């Protein structure tokens, strides 16, 4: 009998207790190896650049850089890496956002531990996977690429939007992203025009509703 192929995995979540729980589930399988962890989207990208895992398991809503944007950047740089989204949200908007960004699977945090193993094996075989608790017709539509086209924001606009929603001023965002305050304001104004939302509370609600921040 041929030995099982080793699958290298990076865990991404801003709660260490959840990462520890995932590790305990995954490490019961001898062919699944955790080779790295990250607590936010930017660290996840760095881990993928450095370690080149086979699979990344990432939370969707994280502070700093959310799972959707991190997935998009990882998928663009390393399309061979299979990304599994992990979320509390089961609505179509979150699911479509992650699959559109490049995820191969979408799991709910209250799902069975066995489903996590199934999802890992599925994506490693280039098969998409959707939590059993979610309407499976979504996956059919996603495979046909019949997704709702949202008003496209650039990667930088998404970063700025998330940081605005998390309560940062233009000056603070400029320091975090190594930009000028003027450039940040340009991105903010462009985002407002694209979304037709013109107040900070409206932008914050949009970011929460679309899983772009860990705020609840």
pLDDT digits (tens, 9 = 90+) for 124-143: 999 999 998 887 766 666 66
pLDDT digits (tens, 9 = 90+) for 57-85: 999 888 778 888 899 999 999 999 999 99
Nearest to 210 by CA among 40, 25, 68, 7: 68
What pLDDT, on a 0 to 100 scale, did the predictor assign at position 148? 43
How many angstroms separate the CA atoms of 177 and 154, rounded? 15
Residues in the chain: 216
What's the mean pLDDT in 182-211?
89
pTM of the model: 0.74
């Amino acid at each position: 009998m041929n030995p099982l192929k080793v699958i290298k995995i990076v865990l991404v979540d801003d709660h260490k207790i959840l990462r520890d729980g995932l590790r305990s589930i995954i490490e019961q399988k001898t062919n699944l190896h955790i080779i790295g962890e990250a607590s936010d989207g930017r660290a996840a990208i760095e881990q993928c650049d450095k370690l080149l895992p086979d699979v990344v398991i990432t939370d969707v809503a994280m502070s700093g850089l959310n799972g959707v944007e991190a997935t998009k950047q990882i998928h663009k740089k390393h399309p061979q890496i299979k990304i599994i989204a992990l979320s509390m949200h089961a609505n179509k908007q979150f699911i479509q956002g992650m699959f559109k960004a490049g995820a191969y699977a979408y799991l709910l945090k209250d799902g069975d531990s066995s489903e996590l193993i199934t999802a890992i094996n599925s994506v490693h075989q280039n098969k998409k996977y959707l939590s059993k608790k979610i309407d499976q017709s979504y996956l059919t539509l996603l495979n046909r690429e019949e997704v709702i086209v949202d008003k496209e924001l650039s990667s930088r606009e998404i970063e700025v939007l998330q940081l605005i929603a998390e309560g940062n001023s233009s000056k603070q965002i400029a320091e975090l992203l190594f930009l000028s305050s003027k450039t940040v304001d340009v991105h903010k104004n462009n985002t407002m025009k694209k979304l037709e939302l013109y107040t900070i509370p409206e932008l914050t609600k949009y970011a929460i509703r679309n899983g772009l921040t860990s705020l609840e």
